[in-house]
Structure 1
Amino acid sequence: MGRLTLNPIRHVDLFGTVLLPVLLIGLRLLGSPFPPIALAKPVPVNFARLRNPKRGIIYVGMAGPAVNVVVALVASLLLQLSPHPYVETVLFIVIYINLVLAFFNMVPIPPLDGSRLVMGLLPNRQARAYSRLEPYGVFIVFALLPLGLFQRIVLPAVEATMTVLGVHV
């Protein structure tokens, strides 16, 4: 599949890595609340090769957000030890970005990681029907953003987690 490489060009998606950030930065300059984000090509996974595909799809889906939470946790521990304001600022940003990524990716809209959890929990027939949303997922997410997906779901979860970690805005 050609993705096991340190060459960043192999991970670039024309729409998600180039056009989307340019569009969102332009909209942001015009006053849009959308944060400028970018997407890489999804990591291909052959679920048929997993010993238990139903459980495996859950593990694959939870791996990314779990790593984001672990990074935020480690950064919050380092933040408690940091005597320097610049280091504190960097650690705060690391915590915030990783928690935003973790909670945003847990939204159950394909191809986000939260959809993998849902697919693993649904019966096979419903999981297949649900997976057919994947080609439209990016458009669904962008349709939901103006309705408060980010402000009403992701940000409150991030802020609550930061409070639990003892990180204050």
Structure 2
Amino acid sequence: MSSPFSLFDFACWLVVFLISMSAHEAAHAFVAKCLGDPTAYHGGQATLNPVPHLRREPFGMLLVPILSYLASGWMIGWASAPYNPNWAAQYPRRAAVMALAGPAANFAIAFLSWLGLKSGLATGIFVPGFTGSFSATVLPTLGGFWRLAAVLLSLGFALNLLLGVFNLIPFPPLDGSALPLLVLPAGLATSYQKVSRSGVALFGLLIAWQVFPRIYRPIWFWMESTLR
């Protein structure tokens, strides 16, 4: 039997999802600008404000997440930040750093959320929640603001850990596919980039979707155990 719809839970999910996706794309845009490609910066993507990201990807940032939540209780979606492919071809290592900045931003949010959860547990404001629950990693011992804090921090921790790990899977079009560019010589890097931008991207997504649970599950349960 499915759980009844909760407007509170839905709103918390949407807020954390939008912030997490915006931070991911803003990191791409900001690092690209620092390394010589201002394309996304000039497009307004170097911001935590979700509005420019929603304008660029309204389906992936809003419609699909809402529909997926109503259907399954989870939010899935996508976003993107533009970049100059000529810049990426000329500076493959810089392009790799730009790509990896997105997952790094998610890991940073996950870590900050973990610190908030850990502090709440240490002070007795939170108690351990339900194993495997994204929105109830901890439960509040007080009501009001602390109920909101418990859900937002739980989601911030779990969702950003998921986004960081998933995007590091080394298959196009995920950010992790840029990892080889850090070590490949120039000629091979150019060939690799051409292959990565071809139709192999859909195939890569299908593979990533299959292998992700095996990668993520042990990481998630280990990280969750640090809060017990």
Q: Does TM, normalized by the shorter one, top 0.5?
A: yes
Range 39-48 or range 107-116, more displaced: 39-48
Find out whether 1:78 has 2:116 as its counterpart: yes
Query: Is the 8 Å Cα contact of residues 79 and 92 (structure 1) preserved in structure 2?
Result: yes
Partner amino acid for 1:102?
Answer: G
Aligned to 1:55: 93
**In the TM superposition, what whole-angstrom CA distance separates every residue of 1:49-93 from its partner, at most 9, and x where no partner exists?**
89x924312321221111111111111111122215122332121
Segments of 5+ residues of structure 1 without an aligned counterpart are: none
Instruction: Give per-residue Cα distances to partners, 1:104-157, cap 9 Å, x unaligned.
Output: 0101112211111222322233323322233435522442256x3121123323
**TM-score, with length taken from structure 2:** 0.55
Residue identity matched to 1:167 = L
Q: Which has the larger radius of gyration?
A: 2
Match of residue 102 from structure 1: 164
- Structure 1 length-normalised TM: 0.71
| CA-CA distance at 1:17 after TM superposition | 4.8
Counterpart contact for 2:88–2:95, Cα < 8 Å: no
**Code of the aligned partner of 1:3:** G
Contact 1:13 1:39 in 2 (8 A): no
Structure 1 residue 41: deviation in Å?
2.7
Specify whether residues 137 and 89 from structure 1 end up closer, same or farther in structure 2 by C-alpha distance, changes over 3 A only: farther
> Within the alignment, does 1:133 sit opposite 2:222 as a pair?
no
Structure-1 residue corresponding to 2:56 = 11
- The answer to whether structure 1 residue 167 and structure 2 residue 227 are counterparts is yes
Q: Equivalents in 1 of 2:88, 2:203: separation in Å?
A: 29
Question: What is the deviation of 1:46?
Answer: 5.3
Candidates 193, 204, 207, aligned match of 1:144: 207
CA change 1:18–1:130 in 2 (3 A) is farther
Conserved? CA contact 1:17–1:40, under 8 Å: yes
Letter matched to residue 4 of structure 1? G
Aligned length: 156
Contact 1:47-1:56 at 8 Å conserved across structures: no
Q: Percent identity?
A: 24
Determine if contact 1:110/1:137 at 8 Å carries over to the other structure. Answer: yes
Q: Aligned equivalents of 2:200 and 2:53: distance in 1? A: 24
Q: Does 1:153 align with 2:215?
A: yes
Match of residue 105, structure 2, among 64, 67, 77: 67
Cα distance between partner residues in 2 of 1:10 and 1:90: 24
CA RMSD for the aligned pairs? Answer: 3.4
Q: Distance in 2 between matches of 1:47 and 1:107?
A: 24
Any gaps of 5 or more consecutive residues in structure 2? 1-38, 46-50, 127-139, 141-146
